[in-house]
Structure 1
Amino acid sequence: MAKYRVEYTPQAKAQYDSLPLLAKAALRALLAKMSRDPWNFGREYPGGKRCCDFAGFGLVVYRVHDDVVVIEVIDITWAK
């Protein structure tokens, strides 16, 4: 299976940039694991979106595009 590339929407990139260092590291670790098989993470919601928690305080919303082997990060929430 091919490794998925991670891409951020402009909104998600701005959210990522504002995360504390611990949260950035936790999200990067999760996305690295996801890049090998994104369908084994999170839950699916209407519209093809998936949602997964990270580091106990974060939530990432994303779509998996199998046709171009991309994980598109749409939204990141950090509650701490």
Structure 2
Amino acid sequence: MHSITELQDCRRLALVAIPKRLSKLEGHFTNIDLWKLFGCVTAYLASLCGHRLGVFLNMTDVEVSQAVHGPEKDDYLLKVNT
């Protein structure tokens, strides 16, 4: 189990790394940079909800496109089949 401090650090670091990875991809696209971005995003999501990365790896395009806004401004609700 990860401590609350470790999860908070993960979120903080991911929120710094994600925009940098996106900027790098905009300048010069490579699959390796895309995979690094995906790693940052999944680490961030996993630190929020506690799911293993496999949940995110197995999401379908349909599941992602059916996301709905949650009660907060930047919240989304994703229904993932198990």
By the TM > 0.5 criterion, same fold?
no
Query: Which is helix-richer, 1 or 2?
Result: 2
Larger radius of gyration: 2
**Higher RCO (CA-CA < 8 Å; seq separation 6+):** 1
TM-score (norm 2): 0.32
More strand by share: 1
